[in-house]
Amino acid sequence: MPVHAIEGRYKTKEMYALFTEEYKLQKWLDVEVALIKAHVKLGNVPASALPVVEKNATTKIVKIERVQEIEDKIHHDVMAMVKGFAEKCGDEVGTFLHLGATSYDIVDTAWTLILKDAFAILEKRVVELLRILVDYATKYRDFVCVGRTHGQHAIPTTFGMKFANWADEFSRHLDRLQQIKVWDLVGKFGGAVGTFASHGKNGLKLQDLVMDALGLKANLISTQVVARDRYAEMIYWTALVGSTIAKVAKEMRDLQRNEIAEMFEPFEKEQVGSSTMASKRNPHKSERLCGVYRIIASHVIPMLEDNALIEHERDLTNSSVERIVLPENFILLDYMLTQFISILKGAEINEQNVTRNLDLTKGAIMSEDIMIELVKLGLNRQDVHEILRQVAIRCRDEDISFRKGIEEDDRIKGKISSKELDRIFDPKNYIGLAPQLVDRVVQDVKARWLK
């Protein structure tokens, strides 16, 4: 039976497959093949070796079970792969395997191949998510709702502004990812301490040939390992994307509260909210996303320390961390994205409640507009602010509307006409440039990501 929650719950098959031991072994074999190809082109290995190596470089032949059996004896995973591979290639060809390489020439280059595949999946998910957010932003471009700051009613905004802000944030995540693909998805083949000593004068040429065969960019310089600032940045990116998902999920949880009841995550026909309170509709999917995010975020520090604490040209302290953090963060983020997409696709927005909530403060959300109008009429801004603050307190204490409080206050009554107060106390007249701002985001996202 599974032990880790990823095994049974928090994964997609597509991403999970990239981090299995079998997939990792296959990528190690792919790198070894690329190395043989480079040696053949440079005349270091006979051309007759290549077909043998290519034929056997598959986990259907080099079995993971055999590699693990060898590792149990020699306590070195990469060398176990080399030995298991050599067994299948025969002594004559096997002698050329891993020629001039160090373990992390294979491991780091293979990690890049795996992470390249993983980022391709995540990028696809974020683009799908952007399409949904843009659709919502467009639909609710002009739909007025109350804006909230510090959990309190502020001034009107539109529901489209919410979705446009989220879309813009995910768009920036894609921008960051494009840079990560340039900066961080690199391979290396510099040998034991990065000097290429084992490859002689053709070391850089050999590295270029290996990378060309694998479709990767070569690292400019390294020690025995690719510098872990790259890995830290990639993990930070997963945490940053996760934080945006968690932020939106938290917003949905808050908006689903009975007292607000504006936006709900989907609730299936036979779904149960509580084991004892049958009436409940708990936002458990959104809560789960907020919880999973905490795990993803917690892995940023270990990866930063991988970069800071590697000794000299390398030690092994990064390896154990990466075996845990890289699979977990990519698998969990992919799960978060797929769940988030599903939640948004089925989300329910109660437009009646959104409109109802605009008047919960009985017009007090229009205090800023009133202040600006009074200043236009020649009153001192600071004096007006204090008057309106006192009016708001009176209205709350006496449970009267803010308009009534304005109309009855001797310091300002009569200064704004009844017709003008009608305009002011209609929230749709105080949404500023919200619709145009939504349009700007929608146009930008469509032009760059949704072609």
Confidence of residue 3 (pLDDT cuts 50, 70, 90): confident
Q: How would you label 45-84 residue by residue, b for 16+ Cβ within 10 Å and e otherwise? A: beeebbebbeebbebeebebebbeebbeeeeebbebbbbb
Phi, psi for 145 (deg, rounded to 5): -140, 170
What does the pLDDT look like over 279-324, one tens digit per residue?
778 889 999 999 999 999 999 999 999 999 889 999 999 999 999 9
Helices (H), 188-265: 203-214, 229-255
In this predicted structure, the answer to whether residue 101 has a pLDDT above a threshold of 90 is yes
Distance CA 390, CA 399 (A): 14
Q: pLDDT tens digits, residue range 395-435?
A: 999 999 999 999 999 999 999 999 999 999 999 999 999 99
pLDDT band for position 16 (50/70/90)?
A: very high
Q: Is residue 389 pLDDT above 80, yes or no?
A: yes
- For the segment 222-253, what is each residue's pLDDT rounded down to a tens digit? 999 999 999 999 999 999 999 999 999 999 99
> For residues 372 and 377, what is the distance between their CA atoms, to the nearest angstrom?
9
Q: Are 297 and 243 in contact (CB under 8 A)?
A: yes
Q: Which pLDDT value is given to residue 139?
A: 98
CB atoms within 10 A of CB 111: 21
199 included as an active-site residue: no
- Contacts of the segment 8-11: beta carbons below 8 A, 24+ positions apart: 10/292, 10/331, 10/332, 10/335, 11/331, 11/334, 11/335
Select which of 4, 48, 76, 274 is catalytic.
Answer: 274
Selecting among 75, 150, 312, 418, the annotated active-site residue is 150
> How far is residue 380's CA from residue 300's CA, in Å, rounded to a whole number?
50
**What are residue 218's DSSP bridge partners?**
187
Q: How confident is the model at residue 366 (pLDDT cuts 50, 70, 90)?
A: very high
- Is the pLDDT score of 353 beyond 80? yes
Query: Could you give the count of Cα atoms lying within 13 Å of 401 in the half-sphere of its Cβ?
Result: 10
173 is catalytic: no
pLDDT in tens, 104-128: 999 999 999 999 999 999 999 999 9
- Of 195, 191, 329, 348, nearest to 281 by C-alpha is 348
